[in-house]
Amino acid sequence: MGLVRVLPPDVADRIAAGEVVERPASVLRELLDNALDAGSTRVEIELAGGGRDLVSVADDGCGLDPDDALLAFERHATSKIRSGEDLESVRTLGFRGEALAAIAAVSRVEMLTCPGAGSEGTRVRIDRGRLLGVERASRAPGTTIQVWDLFLGIPARRKFLKSPETELDHCLRVVTRAALARPEVGFWVRHGGRTLVSAPSAGEPAGRVADLLGSRLATGLLPVEGDGGRLAVSGWAGRSDLHRPTRDDIHLFVNRRPVRDPLLVRAVLDAYRPGLPGGRFPVSVLFVELPPEDVDVNVHPAKSEVRFSRPQEVRALLFGAIGRALRGRAAVPALAQPPVGLSGGGPAAGPGAIPGATSPPAVRDGASPRGLDGAAPPSPGRLAWDDADGPPARPLAQFANCYIVAADERGLLVVDQHVAHERMIYERLIAEAESGPMARQLLLFPQTVELPPGGIETLERERGSFERIGFRFEPFGGRTVMVREVPAVLGREARPAALEDLVARAMEGDRSGAEALFPRLLATVACHSAVRKGMPLSLEQMGYILRGLAACEVPGHCPHGRVISLRVDLGALDRGFDRA
């Protein structure tokens, strides 16, 4: 007896808060949900220290009267549902009545709210769960909630917060998602005296997408439509040549609620396969609409996960609709790019060739008969990874406009043309970087590049690394930079996508704390300069890649860790044909 005790309320509150509030971005998401549920048309966000010091959201929604303003901070206090039945068909973003209580338990909060013109306003101040004061105050109709010093005095939580830049990045992603879902609402974000997002209410959703993702990207989005009776899918799928290094630009919404649903993400990725290079992810903005009773949103305290009553139907509809959108295109612009750095000039792209669309995912799967030599199969079927060095292999043919089939004295080799070329360029760039300043190329025409929210900040912060690899750029207003020079290997016709992708890499590194930025930037430059999947190559060009690969220090893996070549040894062939 006496071992089990009920925790004091303040400890219980903190534990509960931990499920809802993880970082500034989670506070922001909850405040935005509330502002949108309140029917706001304008939402102004102010952040300080990436949200670690201040997250403030001001709206012009319905506001609260003095009693409700106080009650709103109680746990399980909500105006959005009244009974267990209501939970079966939630139509608002919030419903758990937990967010404000949780946030107020772990920060200093001030709410200023007014329920309508001519009504009295109220200010409520709370410091880490303790009510400091409630007083009359004037305000135009709507609500402002300021959250100061998240996790102050809770070192165990505070120390898990990342740098202000990283937290800011997460906050901006939350705003992007909310704003994509609600084009009719205006969103503004200020941080450290600068306006980072300015997205006035957009007449039509496409305008909002261009505002948030950049107009260049928006022009590469294909409309997606799917009707499954009670279920509908709409939105945009990015062309498969617009791929990104992370999943961050797969934006999914269920009944306008931003979600991270593994099932939906899988459906999106499957729809793109095999049109995307390995380790790359599409850009998409997709809305699933279905009756609220067909989806359970009460799965996770942060409400970003959902459960469908008929998941397979949702999956199939999404998969089919994206597939139709992608197939609706005949030619893919990436094909028209001449290969860079390949001797022998660029092969003309076959007009009818659709990269990836007709090529099997890899030789690894189907093409390997089981049990050739009776040994337990290594992971890629009968084909072994090729890490051996030796004289370059001789090209025999290109397969599926994607693989080089080659032979050496040990047997057959299948080489991924893109990753092989990428490896070779990467090693040359590393050598070049070690021996002095890197070669730069003045662009034929300076190019403007529009970066995602937070991109300019990253670029400025990492200016040294970007200049070291050969970029010269200057701010061009808003989220746009003017690029004048690029790493020589990208060529005079460098596509702006390269800089965008490099910035995305830099932003991603912030979050993952991955290895030093510089080699990652070189790897990304190499990736952008290398021949692509889908590009027909001559024997001469294939020979050039194979020779370059043989000279590499690490010919087995690309800088991102992907396998470059697979081999079938002559011995295995002999055994398979009973010639052993």
The footprint of Mg ion (CB under 5 A) covers: 33-34, 94, 99
> Cβ(521)–Cβ(506) under 8 Å?
yes
Partner touching 363 among Mg ion, ligand ADP, none, CB below 5 to 8 Å by kind: none
Of residues 76 and 370, the one with the C-beta less far from Mg ion: 76
> Cβ(147)–Cβ(38) under 8 Å?
no
* Region from 76-84, 152-160, 465-473, 502-510 binding ligand ADP, contact rule CB under 6 A: 76-84
Which whole-number Å values give the CA distances from 171 to 26, 165, 177, 209, in the listed order?
8, 10, 10, 18
Angle ∠(512,54,70) on CA atoms, nearest 5: 125
One-letter amino acid at 353 equals A
Which whole-number Å values give the CA distances from 317 to 212, 248, 249, 266, 311, in the listed order?
26, 22, 20, 13, 10
- How is the beta sheet containing 142-148 ordered, strand by strand? 130-137, 121-127, 108-114, 142-148, 54-59, 42-48, 186-191, 194-199
Of residues 47 and 99, the one with the C-beta less far from ligand ADP: 99
Q: What phi, psi does 404 have (nearest 5°)?
A: -100, 120
Assess 236 for contact with ligand ADP (CB under 6 A): no
What is the rounded distance in angstroms from the CA atom of residue 403 to the CA atom of residue 274?
14
Q: How many residues bind ligand ADP (CB under 6 A)?
A: 23
Of residues 186 and 274, the one with the C-beta less far from ligand ADP: 186
| Coil vs helix vs strand at 63 | coil
What is the rounded distance in angstroms from the CA atom of residue 40 to the CA atom of residue 54?
21
Shortest Å, Cβ 136 to Mg ion: 25
Partner touching 28 among ligand ADP, Mg ion, none, CB below 5 to 8 Å by kind: none
Report the candidate in 125, 121, 126, 124 with the shortest Cα–Cα distance to residue 137: 121
Of the candidates 53, 79, 210, 538, which one interacts with ligand ADP according to CB under 6 A?
Answer: 79
Shortest Å, Cβ 13 to ligand ADP: 13
Of residues 57 and 314, the one with the C-beta less far from Mg ion: 57
Of the candidates 18, 53, 80, 353, which one interacts with ligand ADP according to CB under 6 A?
Answer: 80
H or E element that contains 450: strand 440-450
Shortest Å, Cβ 348 to ligand ADP: 59
Of the candidates 14, 23, 96, 315, which one interacts with ligand ADP according to CB under 6 A?
Answer: 96
Assess 483 for contact with ligand ADP (CB under 6 A): no
Assess 570 for contact with ligand ADP (CB under 6 A): no
Contact letters for ligand ADP, residues 135-164 (x by CB under 6 A): --------x---------------------
Of residues 80 and 575, the one with the C-beta less far from ligand ADP: 80
452-483 exposure pattern, b = at least 16 Cβ within 10 A, e = fewer:
bbbbbbbbeebeebbebbbbebeeeeebebeb
Residue entry with tokens 């590049």: 449
Contact letters for ligand ADP, residues 11-50 (x by CB under 6 A): -------------------x---xx--x------------
List interacting residues with ligand ADP (CB under 6 A): 30, 34-35, 38, 59, 61-64, 72, 77-80, 94-101, 143
